[in-house]
Each structure stands twice: as structure tokens, then as C-alpha cells.
Structure 1
Amino acid sequence: MTIHSKEHLHSFVTETVRNTQVTDIHTHLFAESFGDLLLWGVDDLLTYHYLIAETFRFKPELSYDAFWAMSKQEQADLIWKTLFIEHSPYSEACRGVVTVLNRLGFDLSTRDLNTYREYYKNVSAKDYISRILELAKVKTVVMTNDPFDSFEREKWSQNHPQDPRFLAALRIDPLLNAWDTSWTLLVEQGYEVKPDFSGNTISEIRRFLNDWIARINPLYMAVSLPNDFAYPEDSSRGRIIDECIVPVAREANIPFAMMIGVKRQVNPSLKGAGDSLGKSDIGTVERIVSKYQDVKFLVTMLSRENQHELAVTARKNRNLLIFGCWWFLNNPSLIEEITRMRFELLGGSIIPQHSDCRIIDQLLYKWDHSREIIAKVLFEKYDDLLAAGWRLEEEEIQRDVDDLLGGTFWKFLGKPDPAAIAAK
């Protein structure tokens, strides 16, 4: 059907973005078979590291040690009281919790945390996962799978039937960022590597990667990199990228995903909440993607200041797909700014958002909030076309939204969307 008015356009774009199923290309979620790695429920939601950091800002008298000595429920009680009762919860992380509770049907007028907890005592993880995915309209989540984590390795070795809604990504941070210690973890897994790269080290690192690719069938290999990451660089990381990661990515035909801009542990007392960000050198991305034009790269950068240069770099390199508004960029004002700029430079050849969720409940707010922004910006762009006399068709807009919320990713991988196949 042809779009016949601005009102028709607004309604159709809003509803289409709101109801189209998503492939969430980067999360820290786990399927039920991974046991304790799966985080869910109101106490996990409240003790998310964003909220921990915010709580300390309002509690100068609270020692770090005293907080970490609390049980998870005690921490959640303190965070609820501090951020939701003693102050209005309008930061994005706090608003996210409110959105989740609202979408689950809780009575927010009571502000009774214990009442909300009662629900979770009577629901299974299996049923809860299905409910959240259905409410969030997320058909597929891509996990972050770490072969250097002994607990996770054990779960993979048990060969549990895999939930087809949860797909793998191979996370290789220790290999690239901590070779001085991580080489011993390869030795423990039976690989003949040496810290100085002597002997068969390079071929054994490749064998390690290929073995894990065969085991978990990842959609891509991923690493979180510091803001001062450089390429090329005379380092173990530079050598492993050139001699191991790139050749394996090429052979396996999977992308290398680089998430660039982290400053680790600027305040170690905050533990998992203690990381920050820094501006990075876009030349690093330019050099690696142009050097290896036959290899696919997924890239997101953490600093707002890097976003324009990254989009321009993607214009010049078709083997680069940029994705998401990551971590400290996951705020509505920044998502809107970045999404608009990317649409204007790259059209639909981007992945506008991923959730980066660590607690499955967060899918509700991350996608509710992001869909609203994506729809707003997309409507504005279509409205410009409508005003210029371009004919707009509903089926073409649906096609575009399908691409933005997953199709572009699957096309970049050169693979069919398994959820779409299963739905037929």
C-alpha cells in the first residue's frame, strides 16, 4: 500500500519498528543450559553495575567493603531505597528498571520490592526466558562465549541441547589483551604454546580458535579493546591479530568484531562498575579494515567523539559494518544523535542498536527505549522523502526495518536468518 499522508507514515513506521522481531547481535546473556551464568529477576536487575555506581554517588558514607560484604538481596534493597525511593529514578539505568517492572505488569504505585520478588519465586527460568523474548519481540540473541572461563567451558563440554534462540560469539579478550598470562590457559587446554611465540605457538593458537569455532559455531569472534589500541603495533596482540585472528576469520568466513574504547578499572573499588572510556584513534580501524579487504569486520566504539569518523570509515570500506550504541552511549539523547548521523551517512547499511544486556529482563527496556528512537529518526527521514515527492510503499518500509533490526547483519554474515527459516 502506498503511504498517503504524514499521519499514515508516522503511524506505519512507529508500529512497524515496534512490532518487527529483532536479532540482538551482541549480548552477555546465556541460555538456561548455562546455569548460574543466566542472570534474571529483580535482584539481578537492581544489582547491575550501572546502578551500583549510581548508588555510591548518593552514599558518601558507605564504604566499598561494606557494600561488597552485603548479600545480593541486601544490595538490591539498598539500591532500591537509594535510587528509587529517596530519589526519582530518571537516569536511563533506573528508568530501565521501571520500564521492565511496568512491562511485567507490576503495580508501580506500591513501590513494594518484596511484592515484586514474590513473582519470581513462582516462575521457572525456562518460562521466564520465553516470556521476556516474546514481550521484547526478540527472536534471536547472540551470546558472549568465553573459552577462557572454566565454568563456561564445562557447560559446553556437557553437550546440552542448545536453545536455537541463543547463538554463540567467540570472545577472545584474554588472548589479545593478556597474552602474558593467558598463554598458560591454552597450555591447560592441551595446546603447545610458548609466551615468546617460539615453536608451534602460532599454529597452536590457530588450532585453538578453529577448535572452538567447530565446537560452538560462533557467528563472529569478538574482543573488547582499550582506547589506546593501535594497529599495527609491535606487540603480542598485533602479532596474534595478523597471524592468527585474521587468517582464521578468513578461513572460517566469520567477522572479527572489535569493540574499542574501554579504560579498565579506573576505580578498582567499584569492581565490575569501575570501568570507563576514552577516545580512540580511528586510524587503527582504517588501517586494519583496508589492509584485509577480504575479511569482514564488525566495529563499535565507546566514545561519542569517535562516531562521525567511524561512520565515514564505513563509507569507504564495505567490509566494515558498524553496530550499536554501546555501554556509556546507551542513553536516549546520544542514541538519537548517533542514529540520525549514521542514517544520513550510511542509509540502512548499519546495525543501529544491540542491547549489550547482562540480565535477560533488560531486553524489555533496552529494546523498548531504542525502538522508540529508531522509529522517530526513521520517520523523519521518510518524511523528508515524502515532502520531496518520493512515493513510499508500506512493504518497502517493512523491508527496510527488517534489515535494520537484523537483516543487514545476516546479509553481512552471508548466512540465512535461522529464526526466519524456522518460522516458515
Structure 2
Amino acid sequence: MVIRNTYELRKAVDKAVDNVQVTDIHTHLFTTDFGDLLLWGVDELVTYHYLIAETMRWVDISYDEYWAMSKQEQADLIWDTLFIKNSPYSEACRGVLTVLEKLGLDIASRDLNAFREYFKNMTVEQYIDKVLEVAGVKNLVMTNDPFEDSERKTWLGNYKGDERFKAALRIDPLLNAWDINYKRLKEWGYDVYQELTESTLKEIRRFLNDWIDRMNPVYMAASLPPAFVVPEDSARSRIVEECIIPVSRERNVPFAMMIGVKKLTNPYLRVAGDSVGKSDISTVEYLCAKYPKNKFLVTMLARENQHELCVAARKFRNLLVFGCWWFLNNPSLIEEMTRMRFELLGPSVIPQHSDARVLDQLIYKWSHSRKIIADVLFDKYSDILATGWIIKEDEIIRDVEKIFGGNFWSFLERQF
């Protein structure tokens, strides 16, 4: 169908975005093989670390007192503080309400115990199916760290998998704490030393290849600090260039860099205590230029880096920009970044990923992001419709399928 006016355009864009099945390219979710590592249910949703940090701004208790509480007691405190004693319009609070509403629960009751009842007779397998259906997610990418003992045990044991859940090999410990983690590799039978000799580098490459064989990951990934620089005289820089880069190229497993996190700015908040810092885009440009046959997926945490990152992606076709990560996952910033990316890069980006740590979060993160992305797409199509350009409904569907997953799979298959 040819779109003739903005009324038809609005309907076509909304329909395409609402109906598209998403590939969520970065989450912290797990298959049921990993047991309790897969977080789900209302208490996990309410005690997500975003809401912990918000709550601790209000309550007059110590951090130790909070961490000594049971999960249900923590949820009760957060619910009373953020949802009853204050209006829940932060994005993290609104997200909880969206999940409960999409599940058909009576939000107006404000009754956390009633919401808990919904989950009592639900198996995790049933709930996975329910959440993926409600969120419109076809498949998702996990975060899998072989340095985490509980995860490692599963991979070395009876991992069965779920075709909807794809693996990603997390390599932060290699890059950010080699002086500590080389000992772990040695324990596992790799002949490595803290000094990065040629034989040690060869063994690191063997470690990476072994885990690629075991996991079949869609990419290797690392969360990196604002001070991440390549090249430099550091273990991290050498491991990137002499281990990650060659293995990534040889195995056709892209290197995903998530740059800009300052770990444990407030250690008393534990996982909620991380912060953000501006990074140097020069490292991304250097890697893309020096290794043109390698593939790089990049997201950056600081708002101040987003324009530079878009410009870099215009110059390097082996760079795929993705998502509004972590502190950027707020409606005003998602809209701003999505507009800028579409204006600079057209549809050749992945505008969003969920970064979900609780299964339920897939529902609200994709519900909220779909609406914002649809609004931006409508404006962009309206601009070209006003010039006299003909827009067809199937072309809108084509574009939407690309940005919600198709671009990712095409990038993995391309050769540079």
C-alpha cells in the first residue's frame, strides 16, 4: 500500500513497530539451566538496583541494615518508599507499573501482596513464554561469564540451552583485572603468567577459542571504564590487540565494547553503586581503522559521547552502534539519541537493547522503547513524505524489521 497522508503513515508505523518480533541483543538473563541466576517475579522486579539507589535517597537506615533484610522485606521497603510515600514516575518505577499492567494486574489496588499471588502458581518455564509473548521478543542475547563460578559450573555440566537465548562470551575479567585473573586461568590448566609473554598470549587465545567452542557465542563482550585506551602500555591493551582481535576475526565473533562505566563509585550500594564517565572515542576509531576486517559492536554510557560515536560509525562500516545503555535508558535520552542516530546513520543502527537483569523487565523496556522509536520514525517518514517521496507500507515494515533485529543478524554474517 502506498502511504498518501500522515494519518495513514501514523497507522502504518505504529502497526509495524507494534508487530515486529525483537532480537534483544544485550541482556543479563539466563536460560532455566542456570537456576536462580534467572531473576523473575515481582520481588525481583521491585528490588532491581535502580530502585535500590532511589530508595536509599529517602530512607533513614544504613546500607548494612538494608542488605541484612530478606528479599521480601527489601521489596516492601522499596514499594512503601517509592510507590506509596512518593509518586512513582521515575523510569524505573514506571517500568514496574507497566509490567504489572501488561500482565493484567489491578494496578490501582497498590497491593504488593496481591501482585505476589499472581506468581505463586506460575512455573519459570511458563513465565518465560508469557514474558516473551507480551514483550514481542523472538530471541535475546545473554551475558555469560566463565569467570563466574555458578555460570561456569553450568556450562561445564548439563547445559541444555534454549534456542531463543543466545550466548555472549563476557571477557571483562581478562581485560580489567588480568593481574588477578591470570591465576584462575592457571588453575584451569592454561600455562599463563602475569607477564604477557608470547606463550601466555597464545594460551589466552586458546582459552577464548575453548569457550567459543563451548558457548557458540554471537559476540565477545566487555564492560569497560572511561579510561579504556588502545593502544597503550597495559595488559588490557595488549590482550585486546594480541588476543581478542585475532580470535574475533578468525572465529567471526564480533567484539562488543560497552564503554564508560565507573565501577562501585559508592561501594556501599553494591551492584547499584556504579556510575558513568565520559570516554575517548579515539580508541574506537583506532580499532576500526587498524582492523578493518574485524567487526565491532559499540555502545557508550555517557550522553556526551553519543554524537562522536555516531560520526565514527559514519566512517567505519565495521562499527555497529547499539542501544541506549543503562543510565541512558530514559525516555528523553532515548528519543534524543534515536533522532540523532537516524539523522546521521539512517536505519543502519540498532536503536535499543533492554539490558534486562530481571526477566519481567523485557515487558516494560520494549513497551516504552517501541513507542519512542515509533514516534521518531513517524517524524522522519513525515519529513520525506512532505518532499513528495512515495512511501510504501512494506518499506516501513522492512526498515522496522532491520532496526529491531535484522541489522544485528546481517552484521554477524557479513565479511569485511
Provide TM-score, normalisation by structure 1. Answer: 0.97
Measured after TM superposition, the shift of residue 152 of structure 1 is 0.6
Identity of aligned residues (%): 65
Deviations 1:213-255 (A, max 9, x none): 0001000000000011111111000110011000000000111
For 2:75, the equivalent position in structure 1 comes to 76
What number of residue pairs does the alignment pair up?
414
| CA contact 1:193–1:199 (8 Å) conserved in 2 | no
| Stretch moving more, 199-208 or 67-76 | 199-208
Output aligned runs, 1:29-48, within 5 Å: 29-48=29-48
Instruction: Measure, in 2, the Cα distance between the counterparts of 1:379 and 1:131.
Output: 29
For 2:52, the equivalent position in structure 1 comes to 52
Instruction: Measure, in 2, the Cα distance between the counterparts of 1:387 and 1:324.
Output: 29
For 2:152, the equivalent position in structure 1 comes to 153
Matched residue of 2:409: which SS? helix
Give, as a single letter, the amino acid of the residue that structure 2 aligns with 1:153: R
Instruction: Measure, in 2, the Cα distance between the counterparts of 1:324 and 1:135.
Output: 21
Give, as a single letter, the amino acid of the residue that structure 2 aligns with 1:352: P
Instruction: Measure, in 1, the Cα distance between the counterparts of 2:159 and 2:205.
Output: 26
For 1:407, the equivalent position in structure 2 comes to 406
Measured after TM superposition, the shift of residue 410 of structure 1 is 0.4
Unaligned runs of at least 5 residues, structure 2: none
Unaligned runs of at least 5 residues, structure 1: 416-424
Q: Does 1:389 align with 2:392?
A: no
For 1:284, the equivalent position in structure 2 comes to 283
| CA contact 1:225–1:261 (8 Å) conserved in 2 | yes
For 1:124, the equivalent position in structure 2 comes to 123
Measured after TM superposition, the shift of residue 159 of structure 1 is 3.0
Instruction: Measure, in 1, the Cα distance between the counterparts of 2:155 and 2:56.
Output: 37
Q: Does 1:191 align with 2:221?
A: no
Give, as a single letter, the amino acid of the residue that structure 2 aligns with 1:109: A
Give, as a single letter, the amino acid of the residue that structure 1 aligns with 2:270: K
For 1:243, the equivalent position in structure 2 comes to 242
Matched residue of 2:320: which SS? strand
For 2:357, the equivalent position in structure 1 comes to 358
For 1:275, the equivalent position in structure 2 comes to 274
Q: Does 1:231 align with 2:230?
A: yes
Q: Does 1:11 align with 2:8?
A: no
| Stretch moving more, 375-384 or 157-166 | 157-166
Q: Does 1:318 align with 2:317?
A: yes
| CA contact 1:302–1:328 (8 Å) conserved in 2 | yes
Measured after TM superposition, the shift of residue 199 of structure 1 is 6.0
Measured after TM superposition, the shift of residue 157 of structure 1 is 1.6
Instruction: Measure, in 2, the Cα distance between the counterparts of 1:208 and 1:46.
Output: 38
Matched residue of 1:78: which SS? helix
Instruction: Measure, in 1, the Cα distance between the counterparts of 2:367 and 2:384.
Output: 26
Instruction: Measure, in 2, the Cα distance between the counterparts of 1:199 and 1:106.
Output: 59
Provide TM-score, normalisation by structure 2. Answer: 0.99
Instruction: Measure, in 1, the Cα distance between the counterparts of 2:286 and 2:68.
Output: 46
Give, as a single letter, the amino acid of the residue that structure 1 aligns with 2:232: E
For 1:28, the equivalent position in structure 2 comes to 28
Matched residue of 2:189: which SS? coil
Instruction: Measure, in 2, the Cα distance between the counterparts of 1:113 and 1:15.
Output: 34
| CA contact 1:22–1:137 (8 Å) conserved in 2 | yes
- The runs of at least 4 consecutive aligned structure 1 residues that moved more than 6 Å come to none
For 1:422, the equivalent position in structure 2 comes to none
| CA contact 1:340–1:377 (8 Å) conserved in 2 | yes
Matched residue of 2:3: which SS? coil
Matched residue of 1:115: which SS? helix
Instruction: Measure, in 2, the Cα distance between the counterparts of 1:31 and 1:323.
Output: 23
For 1:302, the equivalent position in structure 2 comes to 301
Deviations 1:353-393 (A, max 9, x none): 00000000000000000000000000100011111000011
Matched residue of 2:107: which SS? coil
Measured after TM superposition, the shift of residue 284 of structure 1 is 1.4
Give, as a single letter, the amino acid of the residue that structure 2 aligns with 1:46: V
Instruction: Measure, in 1, the Cα distance between the counterparts of 2:232 and 2:45.
Output: 39
Instruction: Measure, in 1, the Cα distance between the counterparts of 2:389 and 2:262.
Output: 46
